[in-house]
Structure 1
Amino acid sequence: MKKIRIGILTLLTIVCFGCHTKSTKVYTEEDITIIPKPKQVTLNPGAFSFTENTKLVALDEATSETLEMLQTNFKNVADWKLEIVASEPASNYILLTHDDSLENENYLLEVSSDKIVIRANDQAGYLYGIQSLQQLLPVEFEGNTLVENIQWEVPNVIINDGPRFKWRGVMLDLSRHFLDKAYIKNTIDQLAKHKMNVLHLHLVDDQGWRIEIKKYPKLTEVGAWRVDQEELHWNSREPIKAGQKGTYGGFFTQNELKEIVAYAASKNVEVIPEIEMPAHVTSAIAAYPHLKCFENPEAIGVPSGGVWPITDIYCAGKESTFEFLEDVLLEVMEIFPSQYIHIGGDEATKTNWEQCPFCKKRMANENLKDVEELQSYFIKRMEKFINAHGKRLVGWDEILEGGLAPDATVMSWRGFEGGLEAAQHGHDVVMTPTSYCYFDYYQGPQNEEPLAIGGYLPLSKVYQFDPVVETMTEEEATHVLGGQANLWTEYIPTAEHAEYMLYPRLAALSETVWSPKDARNWDDFAHRMETQYKRYENQGVNVAKSAFLVTSKTEADTETKTVTLTLQNEFPNANIRYQFGDEALTQNSTVYTNPIEITETTIVQASLFKGGKLIGSTFRDTIQFHKAVAHPTAFSTIYNERYQGVGNSTLVNAVRGTKNFHDGQWLAWLNDDMEAIIDLSGQKSIEKVVLGSMENQGPGIFFPTMVEVSTSNDGEVFENVGTISRAFAPNGNPVLKDFIVEFEPKQARYVKVNAKNLNTAPNGSGTWLFVDEILIQ
């Protein structure tokens, strides 16, 4: 009998353990790694442990749909089918319950050892409460594979949370490179995880029309496709003529877009369409040439790459233009139930308007003094139509020019000034300045990053963004709806690349538009990002590790012939280790504490270490001292004032330039050849001269077509000792190259180096010649 009792007791113990295991872990505030940071968190002792018997309590259909996300995740990682029930059990459950006292999108998450309760006033609040709950779970919960030997538990907390701004957005440019439905849905999932609520789709631009319009089928038959020149740099592609067959592109059908809109709505994401006007519409004009200025306008093709200036724009004088746009918008509004319609309004070059008889007549009839007022007329007329259909107009800050439409919302991208001006006049504003919100900019050193449009926007800079300008009054600040990241895709051809550019910077931006400003702290955010990177990896996101990269600041002292190398990293208290030479870095390499002084040719390697392991890629630089270092250098034609490096010594300071041609280590000549004469201050034996150059054909930077080296002992009579030539070749990427001229050893005091400029680019524009160093050996 005694044995039977013991067996029953043991069985009961096992059953109870299976029902609700008690946590043994002691949680601290450092374990709360939610991004964006909640408004208020109270940590209590203990934890709630999930089991396969945990119930999900849904009191209505809306909460049931929200809980299904949690149910699906537990099925994936634990192979549990948590039951959704309609009433509360005694314990071990999650309850979503309505609370009228909470504002929209707010939630109250209360975790105790026997239950979890999420209170909200709307579906968005429930959704965000679930997202925070998932971030309290182990990072493995974000995956799609079964996880063994893990305790699915969350600390006992009370989280009272809600957004700072109501517009928390991301813009995806689908015109320059088409991104498919699967990627759009994945992005919507990530927006929800980051508590973002606006997806702005840039559906129309010069290089592609991406939305089916049934009344105008040529918009997609012609405008959605361009001639494939993807192997060339975006800004060096050949012009396209009317009738050339396009094969590169794509578009969404109206049904596909409705599917996307419905999916986004389930994640509390409003999809806002952008239908550009009056400029950035070459794809539309290629389909319907009558939309541009003049009586019988010339037909054009859909451009394969960059267009500047943008002169082929909609004619503001023809009634047929407005009929077309109203027809298009009627179909757009049937697809998108969003409150806003974005009409672009940016970068219109109005030279055709100045000459077009239709536009001149319009200006005369409407008493408009110039083409800026004509643009204002255009925007106000479209706003009136949009408003008549229960929508609001939003446009880039150029819509301010000539006078702003009465009820328009301004999206300020050229800094904060346009937004400030609009708010001062009582207009709503969405801040999206290039300096903080353009995610097509580089996020790490250009030498280590995939090709981008330019600029530099690291993770830490994004985190400094604040949509409210300090000089705003309280009243003006109320007009700031929020902020938005923009992902322009001229240089982003794939979904994988788009992910790389969005994450992790989206995490930083989400906190700037959700969390209270006084709660933000970079050190704290950096700590939480350690967990966030693991979440991204478990989710299968192609997250950039650029923030881990060690970067350097290099300074040369030509008097002492010393190069000083300062190493840095985005994260606080980074454990950077370095060493000289080619051997692999280890956790035993030297800890970096102070700038490194170098006086001889040296290979430097460095990287971030964490937990004894190397994190991210290794920084490597070769500081090469040579016979020309710190010697006087003269130029027959002085370099351009825009690229002066550190003066004449730039080419003999042992410091090399990077692919970032604004890094201060380049001299450049526009349309001119370079001729440099270096005085070695006495005869020296030399046998090799190396000229370092760059090519980046987009902004017009080309390799020299010839490099010639001559030597002299008197500085007057020079003897040619070597010449190399290189014919122009199309190239789509920035490239650094050394042009090496070798010859029999010679005694010489003066070395003359000539580099011939290409002079004229294939598109007829001028050309830059960039040089960073002349090495003499």
Structure 2
Amino acid sequence: MPTFTRPQVPDAGLIPRPRLFSHASGAFKPRANTTLSTDPSFAAEADWAVTALSYAFSVPFTAALAGKGDVRVTKVAGLGPEDYRLDIRSGSIRAEASEPAGAFYALQTLRSLGMINGDRAPACHIEDGPRFGYRGYLLDTVRNYFDPTFIKRFIDLAALHKLNRFHWHLTDDQGWRLPVPGHPELTDIGARKVDRRYLPHVERTLFYSEETIRDIVTYAGQRHVTVIPEIEMPGHSLALLSAHPELSCIGGSFEPEDRFGVFADVLCAGNDAVFELLGEILDQCVKLFPGKVIHFGGDEVPTERWAACPRCLARIAGEGLADATALQGWFTRKVVDLLRSRGRMAAGWDEILESKAPEDVIVLAWRSAEAGLMAARLGHGVVMCPGSRACYLDYKHLDVPDEPGHLGVSTVRNSYEFEPLQGFDESAARNVLGIQGNLWTEIMYFGRQVEYMAFPRLSAIAETGWTPHERKSWESFSARLPYWGRVMDRYDVARYRGP
């Protein structure tokens, strides 16, 4: 009689694709109360993994003493901070890492193999680690507010893809989501949204409490995801001006916008009170977010109000600036100094290059890949996230009328084939920190919609951030994607399933 063998799935269906993968014969099938042990320095990762692996394999795992488990993670010297080795045989699993992040990713890979295969992990040998140190996603919680339970769910999905940065967009023209001690007006007024689609109008005030933010930051940290808060300034600040109209150039009254675009009113660069309030806001960011980087926006800043404002004109004259356009550079340097004095690094969108931002500011290149190249050649650390057919996940998946999305089209293949270092010389390439997918939520009202717009394009971006360039292949990714879909289905992700 003929014999049949199960075909080998390319790289066992893993996304992102490992640096080195080789199949072996057999599979590890855990029994009830399979034991897991780790080096004591990986105790937090072991605590997470007991629950995660129990779910992935549908059998309970239990903790064991170091060196005694069926699944053992040992500490070795010489691997990178996120690198690991994983060896799976029919009777045991052994993993090695030098740092907790590496141990986490080894266990994350094992978890993924369980969800792909149902109740077992195929025997294999993996040696793995990331291409870039920064692998991120942005979630805009201003244009539409998302419940903390969804934010944590998305952190889980990001960590599953070995993403390690959550860029949290917290303020904009449409809302203010950050509580600031001594300034309840920022959320009382700035977080108030009037929905005029209903008669009578529906009014809601939505922001995140300190307790909620701390919980999310802790949850992310347990999954080796660093949270980067973004506080928009000096533009995209109508929610702030709604609470403090005296900090505008023209005064009057404002309210959080229910439209989307670029609005003329910005923070008055000639008013010292602006920087006093910004200092208090940044103090709160430092208190709530332990990461090294705070993003201050800096994008889409009209200068028409500054050009007609007596205080701004006085600032221009006093600082010896050429014009209102040069005032943005002065504003940027002022904010960078505020962050430096608080022990934090500044990040901003690529418009800050036009005003000669200090070299230690991280630039997120969103308008084009060429902006990233320019920033890198100027010595900035750069995160590549260009919108056009690459990293903007609010774009349509396909150019058809019934497909959700707006502003452009970016297929799964477009997102996958974007190469962040294309056209970079060796010197400039060294300044590229990594890659990021951006989820702007003007027309995403619910978490399920966010998932549909994100996946699998964010899966593709994650592979670019993790997998060596020479190991990337659209054909391989396409072949693995149906198997990775099993992982997404275990999480009940409302993913896009088209081409």
Q: Distance in 2 between matches of 1:114 and 1:443?
A: 43
1:426-441 maps to which residues of 2 (within 5 A)? 426-435=379-388, 436-441=390-395
1:622-637 maps to which residues of 2 (within 5 A)? none
Higher strand share: 1
Uncovered stretches (5+) of structure 1, i.e. residues with no partner: 1-23, 142-151, 233-243, 548-777
SS for the counterpart of 1:109 is strand
1:60-85, Cα deviation, whole Å (9 max, x unpaired): 1x534323444324544766432211
Q: Distance in 1 between matches of 2:487 and 2:55?
A: 15
1:291 equivalent among 223, 247, 271: 247
Q: Distance in 1 between matches of 2:441 and 2:218?
A: 25
1:108-161, Cα deviation, whole Å (9 max, x unpaired): 1111232211111222111111121122235364xxxxxxxxxx3222211110
1:494 equivalent among 424, 440, 446: 446
| Structure-1 residue corresponding to 2:490 | 538
| Structure-2 residue corresponding to 1:256 | 212
**1:36 is aligned to 2:16:** yes
Range that drifts further, 199-208 or 126-135: 126-135
1:497-536 maps to which residues of 2 (within 5 A)? 497-536=449-488
Are the structure 2 counterparts of residues 331 and 31 from structure 1 closer, same or farther at C-alpha, using a change threshold of 3 Å? Answer: closer
Uncovered stretches (5+) of structure 2, i.e. residues with no partner: none
Contact persistence 1:427–1:479 (CA under 8 A):
yes
Amino acid of the structure 2 residue aligned with 1:498: V
1:621-653, Cα deviation, whole Å (9 max, x unpaired): xxxxxxxxxxxxxxxxxxxxxxxxxxxxxxxxx
Amino acid of the structure 1 residue aligned with 2:167: H
Contact persistence 1:27–1:155 (CA under 8 A):
no
SS for the counterpart of 2:155 is helix
1:506-563, Cα deviation, whole Å (9 max, x unpaired): 111111111011111111111100111222112111111232xxxxxxxxxxxxxxxx
Q: Distance in 2 between matches of 1:429 and 1:128?
A: 24
**1:461 is aligned to 2:428:** no
| Structure-2 residue corresponding to 1:613 | none
Contact persistence 1:410–1:418 (CA under 8 A):
no
For these two proteins, the number of residue pairs brought into alignment is 495
**1:444 is aligned to 2:423:** no
Tell me the CA shift for residue 189 of structure 1. Answer: 0.2
Tell me the CA shift for residue 31 of structure 1. Answer: 6.2
**1:201 is aligned to 2:168:** yes
Tell me the CA shift for residue 504 of structure 1. Answer: 1.2
SS for the counterpart of 1:83 is strand
Contact persistence 2:196–2:202 (CA under 8 A):
no
Tell me the CA shift for residue 371 of structure 1. Answer: 1.4
**1:215 is aligned to 2:194:** no
Percent of pairs identical after alignment? 34
Amino acid of the structure 2 residue aligned with 1:265: G
Tell me the CA shift for residue 26 of structure 1. Answer: 5.6
Are the structure 2 counterparts of residues 514 and 203 from structure 1 closer, same or farther at C-alpha, using a change threshold of 3 Å? Answer: same
SS for the counterpart of 1:137 is helix
Amino acid of the structure 1 residue aligned with 2:160: K
Are the structure 2 counterparts of residues 63 and 27 from structure 1 closer, same or farther at C-alpha, using a change threshold of 3 Å? Answer: farther
SS for the counterpart of 1:448 is coil
TM-score by length of 1: 0.62
Contact persistence 2:239–2:256 (CA under 8 A):
yes
Amino acid of the structure 1 residue aligned with 2:177: R
Higher helix share: 2
Tell me the CA shift for residue 445 of structure 1. Answer: 3.9
Amino acid of the structure 2 residue aligned with 1:212: P
1:117 equivalent among 82, 86, 94: 94
Q: Distance in 1 between matches of 2:115 and 2:271?
A: 61
**1:274 is aligned to 2:230:** yes
**1:186 is aligned to 2:160:** no
SS for the counterpart of 1:446 is coil
1:154-165 maps to which residues of 2 (within 5 A)? 154-165=121-132
1:680-714, Cα deviation, whole Å (9 max, x unpaired): xxxxxxxxxxxxxxxxxxxxxxxxxxxxxxxxxxx
Are the structure 2 counterparts of residues 213 and 201 from structure 1 closer, same or farther at C-alpha, using a change threshold of 3 Å? Answer: same
Q: Distance in 2 between matches of 1:74 and 1:508?
A: 24
Q: Considering Cα pairs closer than 8 Å and 6+ residues apart, tell me whether 1 or 2 has the greater RCO.
A: 2
SS for the counterpart of 1:484 is strand
**1:134 is aligned to 2:111:** yes
- Greater gyration radius: 1
**1:412 is aligned to 2:365:** yes
Amino acid of the structure 2 residue aligned with 1:109: L
Q: Distance in 1 between matches of 2:363 and 2:67?
A: 48
Contact persistence 1:178–1:249 (CA under 8 A):
no
Q: Distance in 2 between matches of 1:532 and 1:230?
A: 39
**1:97 is aligned to 2:74:** yes
- Indicate the RMSD between aligned Cα atoms, in angstroms: 2.0
1:473 equivalent among 415, 425, 428: 425
